[in-house]
C-alpha cells in the first residue's frame, strides 16, 4: 500500500504505462518523473537516503536521472528497501537461495501490485504476444499459489490469468518438479489440434526438459505460431548453454524456431522486464504471416540477441571498476532505472555484463555474479558453507 | 599486434612435426602457443624423459643439480637477461598482476632457487643431503647402532599445476629435480609461462638436465593425455581446488606416490601490545603489504585480520590505518587488472558492508574510489572468505586466544597466520591454539607472503614426501 503522495505518483505512472511500450517517454519527461520518484524514495526509504547522503547525491543536488544513486542488488539482502512499512507490502519477492543460506536471500517488498502488473502485462504482451494471440500458456514453473515469494511465478500467474487462454496451466510443482507426462499429453493434444501454445519457464527447466526429450527420443511438431519464453541463467546446471545451442534444441525437439524463442531478462529487484526484440520485430514486418515462415530458416536476423525494456526503464552501462558510465557502445555492468520500482528503490546496479545500443535496447553478454575467483586459495562455495555451518 | 610465445618445453619434439596448435590469448598483448599433442607423441616424450633421467639425473650428485638450478635462477634474477625480460613483458598480461608486482615476485621467487637456499632446504629436511647420492652413515640417536641410509626420489613425477602466482610451479619443479625425478608438468592456464622460461634457463646452463623436464598445457579433462601421464609416473603432485584434487586422488594407483597441495587460506592476528600510536602506521603497512602481495590471490594472503581490543588504538582505528596504508601501497605496488566479475564481487562486498552499516550494525567500510582496495571493519563476524583482490576484513576480538574459536570453521583450509603484538609465553600459547585450529605456519606479517624454502608446506615435507628410504643395516 502506497501513501497518498505515492498513490498520486502511481496514477501518473500507470497512465504512462497504459500508453504502451511503443509510446516513447521523451528525455525531459522521463527526467521529471525519475526525479520525482527519487525525491519520493529519498523521503521514505531511510537506508537508501543514508546511502545517497554518503554520496552527496540528494534531491537537492541531483538534477538529472543519471545522477540518481544506484543500489547494488546485494543491498536487497542486507536491508529492507521500502518506501514505508514493510508490513504494508502486498507481496514480498525473494531471490533464490544461495550456498550462503536462506538469511542471505534478497527481499523486494511490493507496496503496490497494480503498478507491478501495470508494467509487466503490456511488456509481456508486446514482446511475447506481439501478434495479440491468446494462447494456452504452459508453465514449467510452479504456480504463485505454491511459491508466493517468487517474482517469476507471480509474473507467470498474472500473465496466464490476464493474457492466456483457458487451456493454460502449470506443469511443475515444488514437490515433484516437472510433470513430464502431463506436459507431454497437453502438448500432444495441442499439436494434434493444431493449436499454437506458449511455453514459459526458467532456462534451467528447459535444459532439464529437453535433456529428457533427447534421451527419450521424443519430438513435438508444435503448430505454427507456437513460441516459448525462457529466462534466467544456468546456475546449478553442469555448464552454461549458449542461446544458439538452446535454439537448436527448441527447433528440433519442439518445432519452435529461434525467432519465436523469446528470452526474458528480469530480476527480483526490478518490477519491469526486458525481452528479446526479434519476435516483435518479425511480427511488425510480416504481420500474421510471421508464424508461417518455416521454423528452420529464420535464424537470420536473430543475433545478436537485442533486448529491450519498456520506455519507463532506462538502462545505462557502467565501468566495472569505477561504476562510472562507459563510452557509448562499450561493455560494462548494466544499471537500470525502473520507474515501476516506485515503492522501493528505482535505480539498481546489476552484476550483468552488457552493452547499450543506440536505440535504447541493450545486448546482454552474461551474468558475472558467482564467477570463480583466481588464485591458489579458493574453494569458495565450500568455504562459505563451512563458515555458515557455525551460524546455524 | 599481440606477441606470441611458445609456452611449452618438450625436449625432442620438433615443432615442425606438430600439426595443430592451441593458442590462448591473454588480454590484447600476449598469445601463448601450445602443441595439440596426441597420446602417442606424449607417451614418446615421456619415454625420452625416462632415458634422459637415467643418463643425466639419476646418478648425478645433488650438489651438481643445485649448481645448475642456481645458474638457471641467476638468469631469471638478472634484469638484463632475455628470459627475464620475456617474463617481465608477458607475465603482467598473463596473470593480470602489475609490472611492479611481477618484478617483486620474480626477485623473491628466484632468490629461493639459489644455491645457499637450496642447501639450507636439503639440510633442513634430510639432515645430510648426501643420502640422495649414496648410502650415508646416519647415527641412530641414543644408540650404538650404526646404519647407512639412502633416499631415492621418483623416476617420473607428474605435476598438475594450478593458479596464477608466478614461481609456485617452478619451486615444485626444483624440489623434484633435487630428488632426481624427471618432471612431466601440466601447466596452469592461469600462468603457464614462467616454468617454461625456467626450463629454458636450465637447459641453457645444462642441456642434459633440461632434457629431464617436459612441460606443456592442455585443457583439463583431456583423458588420453592424462592417462598416459598417470600410467608413466610413479609420483603425482597436484595443485588445485577440491574437485581436481578429488579426481586425481581417485585415479592414482595404490603404489603411486601422491602429494596434494589443495586450496588454502590465511589470516592475521594482532595483539593489543602492538596497537600503540607510535607503532600503528608501521604495523598497518606490514599488514597491508601482506594483503596486497599477489593481490591477495596467494594461499598465504590474509582474508581476515583479528585485532585485540584494549590497545592504545582501537581495532576500528587500525582498520582505518590499514586502508591508508593500502592507498600508499597502491602507488608503489598497484593492484593488477581484474575481470568484471571480480570487480562486481568487490562492489557486492562493499554494498553489503555499507548497507549493514547504514542499518546500524557495527560495520565500517574503508575503500578506494575504484576497486583498488577495500577494508571492512566488522564486529561479531564469522570468518568470511574474501572475494580477493585486496578486500580484507578487520574483526575485533576481546583476546587473541579467541581467534582459535573463530578459525574452527575453516580449520581444514587454514595455512598461514601472520601475528604481531604477541610475544613470549603469550605467543607460544597462541601458537598452540592456532596449531590446533589448523594453521601450518605462524609468522610475522612481513614474512607472510614469502615462506622460506624449508617451510613445512601446508604441514608437509616437500622433499621427504617425494622420497623412499633404504636402510643398509651394516656400518661402514
Whether B192 and B269 have beta carbons less than 8 Å apart is answered as no
Q: What is the pLDDT of residue A389?
A: 30
Residues of A in contact with B291 (CB under 8 A): none
Query: With 70 as the cut, is the pLDDT of residue A375 above it?
Result: no
**Rounded to whole angstroms, how far apart are CA atoms B5 and B90?**
9
Q: Which chain A residue's Cα is nearest to B337?
A: A321
What share of chain A has pLDDT > 90, as a percent? 76
A242 touches chain B (CB under 8 A): no
| Coil/strand/helix, residue B386 | coil
Selection from B222, B224, B203 nearest residue B214 by Cα: B203
Nearest of B95, B103, B98 to residue B30 by alpha carbon: B95
Per-residue pLDDT at B261: 95
**Closest-CA distance of chain B to residue A54, Å:** 10
Q: Higher-confidence residue: A234 or B339?
A: B339
Quick one: pLDDT band at residue A226, thresholds 50, 70, 90?
very high
Beta bridge partners, B420, equal B270
Work out the pLDDT band at B140, boundaries 50, 70, 90: confident
Average pLDDT over residues B445-467: 97
Contact between B425 and B407 under an 8 Å Cβ cutoff? The reply is: no
pLDDT tens profile A86-108: 999 999 999 875 444 445 788 99
Mean pLDDT of chain B: 95
Lookup: cell for A38 = 527519487
pLDDT band at B221 (very low <50, low <70, confident <90, very high): confident
Q: What is the mean pLDDT of residues A348-368?
A: 88
Is residue B242 scored above 70 in pLDDT?
Answer: yes
What HEC string does B279-320 produce? CHHHHHHHHHHHHHHHHHCCCCCEEEEEEECCCCCCHHHHHH
CB-based contact B168:B175 (threshold 8 Å): no
Count of residues in chain B: 476
- Residues B233, B182: Cα–Cα separation, whole Å: 9
Which of B275, B212, B199 lies closest to B56 in space, CA to CA? B212
Mean pLDDT of A239-266: 91
Q: What is the mean pLDDT of residues A202-207?
A: 92
Q: How many CB atoms lie within 10 A of CB A96?
A: 13
Residue partners of B142: CB distance under 8 A and separation at least 6 = none
pLDDT attached to residue A127? 97
Kindly report the backbone phi and psi dihedral angles of residue A236, in degrees, each rounded to the nearest multiple of 5, phi listed first: 100, -15
pLDDT tens sequence across B403-432? 999 999 999 999 999 999 999 999 999 999
Is B264–A321 a contact, with Cβ atoms under 8 angstroms apart? no
Residue of A nearest to B169 (CA): A376
- Per CB-CB distance under 8 Å, the chain A contacts of B290 are none
* Cα of B439 to nearest chain A Cα, Å: 14
Asked if residue A294 has pLDDT above 60, the reply is no
The cell 540477441 sits on which residue?
A305
Pairing of strands A261-265, A274-276: antiparallel
In angstroms, rounded to a whole number, what is the distance separating the alpha carbons of residues B466 and B177? 11
Restricting to B residues 15-54, those with a Cβ less than 8 Å away from any Cβ of A are none
Per-residue pLDDT at B116 exceeds 70: yes
Kindly tell me if the per-residue pLDDT of A383 is higher than 70: no
> Is residue A386's pLDDT more than 80?
no
Q: What is the dihedral of CA A76, A77, A82, A88, to 10 degrees?
A: 140
If you average pLDDT over every residue of chain A, what do you get? 88
Write the ipTM.
0.82
Model pLDDT, residue A377: 39
A330 touches chain B (CB under 8 A): no
Region B380-400 average pLDDT: 95
pLDDT tens, position by position, B362-371? 999 999 999 9
- CB spacing of A78 vs B410 below 8 angstroms: no
Tell me whether B266 touches chain A (CB under 8 Å). Answer: yes
**In chain A, whose CA is at the least distance from the CA of B387?**
A373
- How would you class B3 by CB atoms within 10 Å of its CB: exposed for 0-12, middle for 13-18, buried for 19 or more? exposed
pLDDT the model gives residue A382:
38
Cell 525473494 found at: A94
Mean pLDDT of A158-176: 95
How close, in Å, is residue A86 to chain B by CA atoms? 15
In angstroms, rounded to a whole number, what is the distance separating the alpha carbons of residues B56 and A283? 74
A377 CB neighbours in chain B (<8 A) are 263-266, 297-299, 301, 303, 388, 413
β partners of residue B157 = B183, B235
Distance from CA of A364 to the nearest CA of B (A): 14
Closest CA of chain A from B33, distance in Å:
22
Which residue of chain B has the CA closest to A392?
B382
Neighboring chain A residues of B168 at a CB cutoff of 8 Å = 376
Amino acid at each position: 500500500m502506497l501513501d497518498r503522495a505515492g498513490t498520486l505518483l502511481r496514477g501518473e505512472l500507470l497512465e504512462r504505462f497504459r500508453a504502451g511500450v511503443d509510446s516513447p517517454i521523451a528525455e525531459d519527461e522521463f527526467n521529471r518523473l525519475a526525479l520525482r520518484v527519487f525525491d519520493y524514495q529519498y523521503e521514505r526509504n531511510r537506508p537508501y537516503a543514508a546511502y545517497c547522503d554518503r554520496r552527496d547525491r540528494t534531491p537537492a543536488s541531483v538534477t538529472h536521472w543519471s545522477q540518481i544513486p544506484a543500489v547494488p542488488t546485494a543491498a536487497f539482502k542486507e536491508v529492507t528497501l521500502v518506501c514505508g512499512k514493510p508490513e504494508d507490502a502486498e507481496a514480498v519477492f525473494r531471490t533464490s537461495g544461495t550456498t550462503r543460506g536462506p538469511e542471505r536471500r534478497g527481499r523486494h517488498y511490493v507496496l503496490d501490485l497494480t503498478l507491478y502488473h501495470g508494467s509487466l502485462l503490456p511488456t509481456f504482451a508486446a514482446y511475447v504476444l506481439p501478434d495479440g494471440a491468446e494462447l494456452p500458456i504452459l508453465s514449467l514453473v510452479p504456480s504463485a499459489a505454491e511459491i508466493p515469494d517468487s517474482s517469476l511465478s507471480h509474473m507467470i500467474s498474472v500473465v496466464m490469468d490476464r493474457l492466456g487462454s483457458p487451456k493454460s496451466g502449470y506443469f511443475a510443482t515444488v514437490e515433484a518438479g516437472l510433470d513430464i507426462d502431463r506436459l507431454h499429453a497437453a502438448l500432444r493434444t495441442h499439436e494434434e489440434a493444431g493449436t499454437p501454445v506458449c511455453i514459459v519457464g526458467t532456462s534451467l527447466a528447459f535444459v532439464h526438459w529437453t535433456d529428457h526429450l533427447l534421451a527419450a527420443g521424443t519430438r513435438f511438431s508444435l503448430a505454427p505460431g507456437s513460441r516459448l519464453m525462457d529466462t534466467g541463467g544456468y546456475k546449478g546446471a553442469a555448464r552454461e548453454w549458449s542461446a544458439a545451442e538452446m535454439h537448436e534444441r527448441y527447433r528440433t525437439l519442439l518445432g519452435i524456431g529461434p525467432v519465436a524463442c523469446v528470452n526474458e531478462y528480469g530480476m527480483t529487484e526490478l518490477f519491469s522486464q526486458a525481452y528479446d526484440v526479434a519476435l516483435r520485430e518479425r511480427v511488425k514486418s510480416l504481420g500474421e504471416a510471421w508464424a508461417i515462415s518455416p521454423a528452420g530458416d529464420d535464424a537470420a536476423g536473430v543475433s545478436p540477441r537485442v533486448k529491450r525494456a519498456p520506455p519507463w526503464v532506462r538502462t545505462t552501462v557502467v565501468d566495472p571498476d569505477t561504476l562510472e558510465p562507459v563510452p557509448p557502445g562499450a561493455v560494462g555492468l548494466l544499471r537500470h532505472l525502473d520507474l515501476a520500482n516506485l515503492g522501493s528503490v528505482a535505480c539498481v546496479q546489476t552484476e550483468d555484463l552488457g552493452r547499450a545500443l543506440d536505440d535504447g535496447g541493450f545486448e546482454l553478454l552474461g551474468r558475472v555474479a558467482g564467477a570463480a575467483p583466481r588464485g591458489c586459495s579458493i574453494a569458495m562455495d565450500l568455504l562459505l558453507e563451512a563458515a555458515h555451518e557455525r551460524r546455524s | 599486434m599481440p606477441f606470441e610465445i611458445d609456452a611449452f618445453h618438450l625436449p625432442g619434439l620438433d615443432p615442425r612435426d606438430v600439426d595443430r596448435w592451441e593458442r590462448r590469448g591473454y588480454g590484447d598483448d600476449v598469445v601463448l602457443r601450445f602443441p595439440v599433442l596426441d597420446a602417442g607423441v606424449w607417451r614418446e616424450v615421456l619415454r625420452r624423459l625416462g632415458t634422459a633421467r637415467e643418463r643425466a639425473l639419476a646418478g648425478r650428485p645433488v650438489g651438481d643439480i643445485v649448481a645448475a638450478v642456481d645458474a638457471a635462477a641467476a638468469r631469471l634474477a638478472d634484469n638484463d637477461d632475455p628470459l627475464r625480460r620475456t617474463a617481465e613483458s608477458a607475465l603482467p598480461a598473463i596473470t593480470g598482476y602489475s609490472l611492479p608486482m611481477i618484478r617483486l615476485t620474480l626477485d623473491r621467487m628466484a632468490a629461493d632457487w639459489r644455491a645457499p637456499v637450496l642447501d639450507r632446504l636439503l639440510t633442513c629436511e634430510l639432515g645430510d643431503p648426501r643420502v640422495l647420492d649414496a648410502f650415508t652413515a646416519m647415527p641412530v640417536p641414543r644408540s650404538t647402532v650404526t646404519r647407512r641410509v639412502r633416499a631415492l626420489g621418483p623416476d617420473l613425477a607428474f605435476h598438475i599445476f594450478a593458479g596464477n602466482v608466478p614461481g609456485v610451479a617452478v619451486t615444485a619443479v626444483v624440489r623434484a629435480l633435487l630428488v632426481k625425478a624427471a618432471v612431466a608438468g601440466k601447466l596452469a592456464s592461469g600462468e603457464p609461462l614462467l616454468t617454461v622460461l625456467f626450463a629454458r634457463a636450465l637447459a641453457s646452463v645444462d642441456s642434459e638436465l633440461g632434457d629431464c623436464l617436459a612441460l606443456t598445457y592442455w585443457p583439463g579433462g583431456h583423458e588420453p593425455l592424462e592417462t598416459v601421464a598417470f600410467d608413466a609416473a610413479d609420483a603425482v603432485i597436484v595443485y588445485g581446488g577440491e574437485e581436481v584434487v578429488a579426481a586425481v586422488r581417485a585415479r592414482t594407483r595404490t603404489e603411486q606416490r601422491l602429494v596434494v597441495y589443495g586450496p588454502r587460506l590465511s589470516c592475521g592476528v594482532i595483539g593489543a601490545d602492538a596497537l600503540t600510536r607510535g607503532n600503528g602506521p608501521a604495523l598497518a603497512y606490514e599488514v597491508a603489504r601482506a594483503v596486497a602481495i599477489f593481490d591477495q590471490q596467494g594461499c598465504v594472503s590474509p582474508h581476515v585480520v583479528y585485532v585485540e581490543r584494549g590497545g592504545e588504538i582501537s581495532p576500528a582505528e587500525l582498520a582505518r590505518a590499514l586502508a591508508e596504508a593500502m592507498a600508499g601501497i597502491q602507488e608503489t605496488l598497484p593492484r593488477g587488472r581484474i575481470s568484471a566479475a571480480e570487480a562486481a564481487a568487490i562492489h557486492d562486498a562493499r554494498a553489503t558492508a555499507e548497507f549493514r552499516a547504514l542499518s546500524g550494525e557495527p560495520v565500517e567500510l574503508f575503500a578506494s574510489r575504484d576497486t583498488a582496495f577495500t577494508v571492512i571493519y566488522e564486529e561479531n563476524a564469522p570468518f568470511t572468505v574474501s572475494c580477493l583482490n585486496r578486500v580484507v576484513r578487520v574483526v575485533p576480538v576481546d583476546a587473541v586466544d579467541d581467534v582459535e574459536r573463530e578459525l574452527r570453521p575453516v580449520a581444514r583450509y587454514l595455512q598461514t597466520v601472520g601475528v604481531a603484538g604477541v610475544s613470549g609465553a603469550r605467543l607460544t600459547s597462541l601458537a598452540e591454539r592456532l596449531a590446533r585450529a589448523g594453521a601450518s605456519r605462524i609468522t610475522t606479517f612481513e614474512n607472510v607472503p614469502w615462506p622460506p624454502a624449508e617451510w613445512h608446506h601446508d604441514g608437509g615435507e616437500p622433499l621427504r614426501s617425494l622420497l623412499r628410504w633404504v636402510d643398509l643395516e651394516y656400518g661402514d
